[in-house]
A and B are shown apart, each in its own frame.
Chain A
Amino acid sequence: MKRLLNMHEAPIIIFTIIVTLAFSLYSSGFFGIDNLQMILDQNISMFIVAIGMTMVILLGGIDLSVGSVLAVTATSVGLFLSHGIHPWVAALMGIGIGVLCGMVNGFFIAYVKIPDIIVTLATMYIFRGIAVGISGGTWMTNFPAGFRFFGQGTLFGLSFPLLVAIVLIAIFIYGLKFSRFGRRIYAIGGNGPAAKLAGISVAKSKFKVYVLSGLLVGIAAVIFASKVGSVQASTAGNSLAFEVMAAVLIGGGSIFGGIGTIAGTMLGVLFMGIIKNGLIISKVSPFWVDATTGFLIILAISINTLQRYRQNKGKEGDLV
């Protein structure tokens, strides 16, 4: 039992249960398969983006630009489609643009060694500006029918985007546990100088993580565009970075790096989705969603700090 409580995922599991119970009591429509499916469906992009953010935060970094990368990618895909490019090709090219954005972030962070907060703050505006620029400031809409498959299609009787998300989650959970690359992320986040001493190229790993994060945002963007059916460059994914960050932290990730799991993050995303959904079902002002996200970020960092404090307290007991 004690071991269970010491798990970094413990708070999120408890929160999820409490919140689910609370909303179930409050609103009869909340607790049901249909609603659960809707929550999953609405947050597919967030699940996928959160995989990348988990890796970034595991490194001890932060990526504020994911929302803007999503906007750039979704807008470009819209642009490709409007030029009559085949949906699959357009999707792939879009994902390529996500990767490119990740490379830009990764280059400045890993090789020019500018702090990640500054780089991604800057690229958050840069990518957003580019997105608006290439869209010409108008809505991207009228996607061809073939493109709808990515967000709304089914495969083997399952929703295609859900399938994509599940496959990606599985791949990255496996990768973080069983590949050298995955373990290097934990090592770097846990103790950067020691990782360097162990012969791990910190810069290379960092670069790769940001590129992967870009790739995942690219995939999420294609699904997002297809699902919503339209893209507005200036608002698409506006608060995505903050929501995803909240999900990672609340899912047990440590802002100091080295601690966290994708499974925990996914619970975190689910939790955020439940709250959003519950707030909407409970018919409070939709504006409360943003306020709640911010509150959750602060709550998550509080828990984070508390856990770290408790850990260090164990050591302070020594007389040294």
Chain B
Amino acid sequence: MSQPVLTMEGISKEFPGVKALSDVNFELYPGEVHALMGENGAGKSTLMKVLSGVYEPTAGTIRLKGQEVAFGNPLEAQRQGVSIIHQEFNLFTNLSAAENIYIDRPEMVGRFGRIQWSKMYEEAQQLVDSIGGSGIDVRQEVRHLGVHSQQVVEIAKALSFRADVLIMDEPSAALPENEVKKMFDVVKRLRDQGVAIVYVSHRMKEIFEIADKVTVLRDGAWIDTRPIGEVTEQQLIYMMVGKEVSKLYPDRDHKPGGEVMLEVQSLSLDATHEVSFQLHKGEILGLFGIPGSGTHTIAERLFGLKGGAGDIIVGGMPAVIRNPGDAKARRIAYVPPDRHRQGIIKPMSIRQNLSLPILPRLSKGVVIDESRVREMSSEYMESLRIKAPNDRQSVDYLSGGNQQKVVIGKWLATHPDILILEEPTRGVDVGAKAEIYAIINRLAQEGLSILLISSEMPEVIGLSDRILVLHKGEIVHEFAHGEADQEQLLQRASHPLTEGGRL
């Protein structure tokens, strides 16, 4: 075998109080797609940030083409041939594709400091064409391009630095299903050109399709590196989680009641797609679909964050929900997917965060009744086991799991009939995950109707009474409890028409 283009040896990275990486080894060969897997918080992104020059490692060495290197910043890494493509693109949407690729590059500056636009357009077009983006006009402003084309521009930018190593962080997350294929074609083309690709993803199916090797991290430590042909999905999951998956999920021993708590009729998701379904009392209804399938939009519609046509019937009564306030009044609660942006106000105390949605109820007139707030907050601190010295601590200092419990708590405090949970365990460690699952299960047993939207298949399978699978804005299949496994679920979500047909 040829020489590795990149070796990372004994990489450790410590932050104050946390050891994010300890003694990680990683080798990368030219012309291979190397998947990097691990749960949230396993250290994947830290490792990639060390590699791409964002962080400096506390210990360990990085060798690029045999030379020991230390990148001070991402640009330096890029110049030396290591480029990273983030989940969220770093593009100038107001500029042309060509300029995005060659922004501020001396080689595009001619005599008297004049930028050579024709040269730039020409080379950019060549570069984009060479990775299969010939449909893209590089003179167009990026904001007029689709997501896949924007990704191609990002890749072209990386290649313009003659990248030997290309890191792709969840490259399919932003892409609609039909464009993932195109992205794979681009990746394969790059691989054939001898570029070494680090492919960071959660998606098993993709990894088995595109990767040559896989490395698994867990709790900041290297677990194993294997050729993809020598592992099974089950083994990978085991490596990532470190214990049997099923242990995470509580036993479901209750039967949801027959009463329909929520009925959705012809709820429009966009101009052409609408869905209808029912949610029963005490039921956990899982909604599964890959990004772009419309699960997130269902939550937004039900919670009044997005307008549109269709009927929402709550507890037998038609409900008009134009904003989150309306939804709250209908006893619908929503734990949003991004707790940092949508769930918690960081500098505020646990108590304030918990009481935020129900302040009117905790007030006498307009004046907040402090004793009632205290009572309420200690009640939820206790029942959800939020670990903090006291409830006046600002939520900023809590762990991810405890922050998530605060978000759940603030919505339980509204005494909802219907709880929409979206990605309830994103960025939460395994221990807290199990706790949150237990809470969800308990709530359902107490009669709460739960709509569970998650991209983590084991979670959906382990918790739900029923699962609705969405694909491109349509419900394509329904699984009863115990019927689904990951393979089937993913298959329904990705290729709805090949087998089984529609619901």
Q: Which positions in A face B, CB cutoff 8 Å? A: 177-180, 183-184, 186-187, 189-191, 193-195, 197-200, 258-259, 311, 317-320
Contacts and interface: CB of A to CB of B under 8 A. Distances in A.
A191 B93 contact: yes
Interface stretch (B55-63, B207-215, B289-297, B387-395): B289-297
A190 B115 contact: no
Contacts of B91: 191, 194
Given A179-B113, A197-B90, A320 B104 contact: no
B368 interface: no
B251 interface: no
B247 interface: no
B292 A319 contact: yes
Contacts of A318: 147, 176, 270, 292
A177 B114 CA distance: 9
B348 interface: no
B115 A319 contact: no
B92 A194 contact: yes
A223 B75 CA distance: 45
Contact of B115 (A180, A198, A200, A311): A180
Contacts, number: 77
Contacts of B147: 318
Contact of A311 (B95, B143, B291): B143
A319 B472 contact: yes
A186 B90 CA distance: 14
Contact of A183 (B74, B104, B291): B104
B94 A183 contact: no
Contacts of B117: 178
Given A187-B103, A190-B94, A197-B75, A319 B109 contact: no
A318 B147 CA distance: 10
Interface in B147-203: 147, 174, 176
B296 A320 contact: yes
B90 A180 contact: no
9 contacts: A178-B113, A183-B95, A187-B103, A190-B92, A194-B91, A195-B103, A258-B94, A318-B176, A319-B292
A178 B75 CA distance: 23
Contacts of A190: 92-95
A187 B294 contact: no
B294 A319 contact: yes
Secondary structure at chain A's binding surface: helix, strand, loop or mixed?
helix
A192 to B, nearest CB: 10
B271 interface: yes
Contact of B99 (A183, A200, A319): A183
B269 interface: yes
B273 interface: yes
A189 B94 contact: yes
A179 B176 CA distance: 38
B282 interface: no
A-B CB proximity, top 9 nearest? A190-B94, A190-B92, A258-B94, A194-B90, A199-B75, A319-B294, A191-B92, A178-B114, A320-B292
A317 B293 CA distance: 13
Contacts of B143: 311
Interface residues of B, number: 32
A319 B293 contact: yes
Contacts of B416: none
B400 interface: no
A179 B115 contact: yes
B286 interface: no
A194 B84 CA distance: 13
A251 to B, nearest CB: 16
A298 B92 CA distance: 27
Nearest to B173: A320
B473 interface: yes
A191 B269 CA distance: 30
Secondary structure at chain B's binding surface: helix, strand, loop or mixed?
loop
Given A190-B95, A199-B104, 4 more contacts: A178-B117, A191-B91, A319-B294, A319-B296
A197 to B, nearest CB: 6
Contact of A198 (B104, B291, B472): B104
Contacts of A197: 74-75, 90
Given A199-B75, A317-B271, A193 B90 contact: yes
A198 B473 CA distance: 37
A198 B99 CA distance: 12
A197 B273 CA distance: 39
A259 B93 CA distance: 10
A258 B104 contact: no
A259 B271 contact: no
A258 B92 contact: yes
B476 to A, nearest CB: 14
Nearest to A188: B92
A319 B175 CA distance: 11
Contacts of A187: 92, 95, 103-104
Contacts of A199: 75, 104
Contacts of B104: 180, 183-184, 187, 198-200
A3 to B, nearest CB: 10
A197 B473 CA distance: 36
Contacts of B273: 319
A300 B143 CA distance: 22
Interface in B265-320: 269-271, 273, 291-294, 296-297
Which residue, A177, A191, A195, has most C-beta atoms of chain B within 10 A? A191
A320 B95 contact: no
Nearest to B143: A311
A49 B292 CA distance: 47
A169 B113 CA distance: 19
A317 B270 contact: yes
Contacts of A191: 90-94
Contacts of A195: 92, 103
B94 A259 contact: yes
Interface in B79-105: 90-95, 99, 103-104
A183 B103 contact: yes
A145 to B, nearest CB: 39
A214 B142 CA distance: 33
A265 to B, nearest CB: 16
B297 A319 contact: yes
A29 to B, nearest CB: 42
B169 to A, nearest CB: 14
A193 B88 CA distance: 12
A178 B293 CA distance: 43
B23 to A, nearest CB: 29
Which residue, A194, A200, A317, A320, has most C-beta atoms of chain B within 10 A? A320
A195 B103 CA distance: 9
A198 B75 contact: yes
A186 B95 CA distance: 8
Contact of B174 (A189, A311, A317, A320): A320
B426 to A, nearest CB: 16
A259 B273 CA distance: 34
A123 to B, nearest CB: 28
B156 to A, nearest CB: 14
Interface in B107-142: 109, 113-115, 117
